[in-house]
């Protein structure tokens, strides 16, 4: 035991005016009371302490701090009376301090060792943080004591102090909880006690500045405090490390995953008090109930490198993961290079990575495997099973953290599905949420189910189409070119095989081949004929050639060469179709990716519904209006912003597809079309088709126009309106262009559109007349 004066919290205790002093009398009064109540052998011990107090004539008044070291023997009696009889002072951090001010004047050796190891104020990682925060906390403790003792009022405040500082041997934080027992601090009022409004007091006490109310109502100079406080310091490193993981689980936020996992791994190192032990978290995520890779690397990444896509194909990973999930056992070895472990093949990658000690611990949430916690050291370091046992308190919160990762992974998948494959986009999600809540409410109340019509009234429609020019013609040309090549190759093959097979069936095949070749030369092949020709080539001829190859070994290399040439995937006779499809795919993918990258930008000004359709090109519908976002005021400027984007995006797409011609197998161009509809329409969600569609007779006319204008001609000509390197705007009335014309001039002046504008009248379509169009030339930047 030591009887020395030491400051616990440094300068943080300064500037705290209170009439306090050290006195033995509160303790003596407590002993006298307990002596009359106690019937056990403890009574004789209490009597001995009181006898010591009287015979040594110890002071009944205040004891100055500079004289407190004279009473060490009596304080040892205090320690003996307040500590468990069989506890060793070597393991107890216990002490006595000045009342309300943490200045220790007596305590166990362990307490003083901890205080001496404690850093200065600037290095202290105390939870209570700043001096003002610490002062507020102490004031709350003081007023809590005053209200308890003098007003018999319990305040809703729990006060504890957690200090943390670096443990030099490990380089990791250790946490200590300091509890202050004020049972032997006597509070007395110097005058009449003020009356208090306890309802108001209760409501304000827990607020950040609630102590100010008490400072005004109960100034501290009205009270005096005599006695001493009892301190107990407990190592709560394990508890705080586990709580740290739990807090990270609850306080997670988007985008902070790397920092979150870094904190988890640091907490695990704190738990085992060894910074040389490494940790990894490997979540088990599933798609369609089959294991797939996770993507958030946590720790050294050794589990991801050994079990992830760097080493394993998706199928190999799935087999290993499912095998482990069927029998998820823990593994531990202090040295995986020992002779016994050398027989375990699954440890070879860990050995190659210079691992020495290794533990693999399966983690479960609700009895379901959610991942593996890896614990390892590099070569030259090791740990034993005692260290491993220190992790037990952390398994549950880490399993919950992995379950959260799995839930977030599944939510991300659901978000992608909703965004890319359904019509339930973020801009209209609120409407579906509202409908779902109504459905759930009716279900919980046992009310009849009602199918709500999800609709949006008075929205402006915007329509655009990017089409691959002459795609049908190009496809027909590619098909005919490949068929011509195919029939020519077949004719050559049959001629060569004739020397090995002079059967009547061979003669019939050669005759039909010659007949089909003549049909192709004369250009008389229609769709029915094309189907019959394909049947002849793929069924009649191919099966016979395979039969001939099996029957006559000499024919086998000739037939194999032919079959290789006509392979749909790689044969040279299908080259034109493959190149056309590849080119169309490249164009459509590039255009689709462009609109995918733009859709978030569209929402910045005002939420709108944006939906793409894939044909031989890309079409889109946009709907915007007040009903899409009722809580955000809609202005015509929001519509104008979209219309400017329409023109700009069509220019960007034309330039994009122009650049693609340098990389595509075939040279194809796109046409760009915008239909200008200046009137609001209503749309509703069609549950059967899982898409939004127009509603009402007038609005259906808008849909009909869209379907008929893609191949419209200029009036009294055979010329299609849509042409490569241009943007066509179709409209009915000149006023429909009011929003577009200023933007067109802007884009002309910025060298995006040609200065020439073609104003055109269009042919009458079925049920439609009076259509007009503007045709704008797209300017391409000079090549660098």
Q: Could you report the average pLDDT of every consecutive run of 10 residues in the chain (784 residues)?
A: 76 64 95 90 92 94 91 94 85 90 89 78 47 73 88 72 71 83 93 82 64 77 94 87 76 58 84 90 86 71 83 86 88 91 90 93 92 92 91 90 86 74 76 81 81 87 93 87 87 86 85 85 75 82 85 88 86 89 93 91 91 87 94 94 96 95 92 94 80 74 88 94 96 94 96 95 90 96 73
CATH number, domain 240-414: 3.30.450.40
Query: H or E segment at 370?
Result: strand 368-378
Q: Which residue matches tokens 């689709």?
A: 592
Three-state SS string over 113-137 comes to HHHHHCCCCCCCCCCCCCHHHHHHH
What is the rounded distance in angstroms from the CA atom of residue 684 to the CA atom of residue 686? Answer: 6
User: Number of H helices and number of E strands within the chain?
Assistant: 24, 25
CATH number, domain 579-778: 3.30.70
Tally Cβ neighbours within 10 Å of residue 478: 20
Count how many Cα atoms sit within 13 Å of the Cα of residue 542 in the half-sphere of its side chain.
14
Contacts of 532 (CB under 8 A, 6+ apart): none
Task: Please report the pLDDT score of residue 253 as a whole number.
Answer: 52
Q: pTM (2 decimals)?
A: 0.60
Q: Determine phi and psi for 529, rounding to 5 degrees.
A: -60, -35
State both tokens at 567.
């392979």
Using CB atoms within 10 A of its CB, is residue 27 exposed (0-12), middle (13-18) or buried (19+)? buried
357 close to 383: Cβ distance less than 8 angstroms: yes
What is the rounded distance in angstroms from the CA atom of residue 460 to the CA atom of residue 454? Answer: 17
Tally Cβ neighbours within 10 Å of residue 180: 20
What is the rounded distance in angstroms from the CA atom of residue 39 to the CA atom of residue 51? Answer: 18
Tally Cβ neighbours within 10 Å of residue 302: 22
Torsion sign, CA atoms 330, 334, 338, 339: negative
Q: Do 579-778 and 240-414 have the same topology in CATH?
A: no
What is the rounded distance in angstroms from the CA atom of residue 534 to the CA atom of residue 527? Answer: 11
Going from the C-alpha of 102 to that of each of 14, 232, 628, 717, the distances in angstroms are 11, 12, 62, 99
Q: Where are the domains of the chain?
A: 6-235, 240-414, 422-452, 471-574, 579-778
Residues linked to residue 602 through DSSP beta bridges, in sequence order: none
State both tokens at 659.
């650049």
Task: Please report the pLDDT score of residue 421 as a whole number.
Answer: 63
What is the rounded distance in angstroms from the CA atom of residue 265 to the CA atom of residue 690? Answer: 45
Query: Whose CA is closest to 237, among 281, 175, 145, 167?
Result: 175
3-state SS assignment for residue 82 = helix
Contacts of 180 (CB under 8 A, 6+ apart): 97, 102, 141, 229, 230, 231
Specify whether the backbone of 751 is left (phi greater than 0), alpha (psi in -120 to 50) or beta.
left
Residues linked to residue 671 through DSSP beta bridges, in sequence order: 467
111 close to 231: Cβ distance less than 8 angstroms: yes
Q: Are strands 223-227 and 19-22 parallel, antiparallel or unpaired?
A: parallel
Task: Please report the pLDDT score of residue 514 as a whole number.
Answer: 86
- Cα–chain center distance at 271: 27
The vertex-77 CA angle with 76 and 83, nearest 5°, equals 85
Query: Whose CA is closest to 128, among 146, 144, 141?
Result: 141
State both tokens at 11.
């300068």
State both tokens at 673.
């079309």
Residues 567-599 as b or e (16 or more Cβ within 10 Å = b)? eeeebebbebbbebeebbebbbebbeebbeeeb
Q: What is the DSSP letter of 67?
A: G
């Amino acid at each position: 035991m030591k009887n020395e004066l030491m400051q616990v919290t440094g300068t943080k205790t300064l500037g705290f005016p209170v009439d306090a002093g050290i006195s033995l009398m509160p303790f003596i009064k407590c002993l006298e009371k307990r002596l009359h109540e106690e019937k056990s052998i403890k009574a004789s011990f209490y009597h001995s302490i009181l006898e010591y107090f009287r015979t040594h004539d110890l002071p009944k008044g205040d004891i100055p701090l500079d004289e407190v070291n004279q009473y060490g023997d009596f304080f040892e009696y205090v320690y003996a009376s307040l500590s468990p009889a069989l506890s060793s002072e070597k393991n107890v951090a216990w002490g006595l301090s000045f009342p309300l001010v943490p200045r220790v004047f007596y305590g166990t050796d362990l307490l003083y060792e901890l205080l001496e190891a404690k850093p200065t104020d600037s290095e202290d990682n105390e939870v209570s943080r700043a001096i003002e925060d610490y002062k507020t906390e102490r004031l709350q403790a003081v007023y809590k004591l005053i209200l308890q003792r003098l007003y018999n009022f319990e305040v809703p405040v729990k006060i504890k102090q957690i200090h943390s500082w670096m443990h030099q041997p490990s380089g990791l934080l250790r946490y200590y909880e300091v509890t202050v027992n004020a049972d032997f601090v006597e509070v007395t009022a110097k005058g009449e006690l003020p009356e208090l409004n306890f309802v108001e007091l209760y409501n304000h006490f827990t607020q950040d500045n609630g102590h100010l109310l008490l400072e005004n109502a109960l100034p501290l100079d009205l009270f005096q405090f005599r006695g001493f406080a009892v301190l107990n310091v407990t190592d709560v490193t394990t508890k705080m490390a586990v709580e740290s993981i739990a807090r990270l689980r609850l306080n997670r936020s988007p985008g902070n995953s790397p920092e979150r996992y870094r904190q988890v791994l640091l907490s695990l190192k704190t738990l085992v008090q060894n910074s040389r032990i490494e940790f990894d978290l490997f979540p088990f995520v599933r798609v369609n109930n089959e294991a797939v890779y996770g993507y958030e690397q946590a720790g050294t990444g050794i589990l991801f490198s050994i079990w992830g896509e760097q080493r394993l194909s998706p199928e190999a990973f799935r087999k290993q993961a499912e095998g482990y999930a069927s029998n998820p056992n823990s593994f531990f070895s202090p040295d995986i290079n020992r002779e016994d472990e050398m027989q375990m093949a699954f440890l070879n990658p860990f050995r190659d990575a210079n691992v020495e000690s290794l533990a693999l611990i399966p983690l479960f949430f609700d009895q379901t495997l959610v991942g593996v916690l890896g614990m390892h050291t590099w070569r030259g370091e090791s740990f034993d099973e005692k260290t491993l046992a220190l992790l037990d308190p952390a398994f549950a919160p880490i399993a919950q953290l992995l379950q959260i990762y799995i839930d977030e992974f599944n939510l991300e998948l659901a978000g992608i599905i909703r965004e890319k494959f359904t019509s339930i986009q973020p801009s209209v999600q609120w409407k579906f949420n509202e409908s779902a809540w109504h459905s759930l409410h009716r279900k919980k109340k046992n009310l009849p189910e009602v199918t709500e019509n999800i609709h949006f009234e008075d929205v402006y429609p915007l329509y655009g189409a990017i089409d691959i020019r002459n795609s049908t013609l190009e496809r027909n040309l590619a098909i005919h070119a490949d068929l011509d090549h195919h029939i020519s190759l077949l004719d050559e093959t049959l001629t060569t095989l004739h020397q090995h097979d002079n059967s009547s069936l061979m003669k019939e095949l050669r005759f039909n081949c010659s007949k089909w070749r003549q049909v192709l030369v004369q250009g008389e092949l229609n769709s029915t004929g094309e189907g019959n020709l394909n049947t002849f080539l793929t069924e009649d001829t191919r099966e016979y050639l395979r039969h001939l190859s099996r029957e006559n070994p000499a024919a086998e290399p000739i037939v194999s060469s032919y079959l290789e040439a006509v392979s749909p995937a790689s044969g040279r006779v299908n080259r034109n179709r493959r190149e056309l499809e590849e080119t169309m795919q490249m164009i459509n993918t590039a255009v689709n990716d462009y609109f995918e990258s733009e859709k978030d930008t569209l929402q910045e000004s005002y939420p709108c519904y944006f939906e793409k359709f894939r044909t031989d090109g890309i079409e889109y519908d946009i709907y915007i209006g007040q009903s899409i976002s009722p809580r955000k005021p809609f202005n015509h400027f929001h519509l104008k912003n979209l219309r400017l984007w329409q023109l700009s995006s069509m220019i960007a797409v034309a330039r994009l597809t122009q650049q693609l011609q340098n990389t595509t197998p075939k040279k194809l161009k796109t046409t760009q079309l915008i239909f200008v509809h200046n009137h609001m329409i209503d749309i509703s969600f069609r549950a059967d088709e899982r898409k939004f569609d127009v509603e009402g007779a007038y609005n259906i006319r808008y849909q009909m126009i869209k379907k008929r204008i893609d191949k419209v001609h200029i009036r009294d000509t055979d010329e299609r309106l849509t042409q490569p390197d241009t943007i066509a705007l179709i409209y009915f009335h000149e006023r429909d262009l009011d929003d577009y014309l200023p933007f067109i001039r802007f884009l002309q002046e910025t060298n995006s559109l040609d200065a020439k504008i073609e104003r055109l009248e269009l042919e009458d379509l079925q049920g439609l007349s009076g259509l007009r169009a503007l045709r704008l030339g797209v300017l391409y930047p000079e090549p660098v």
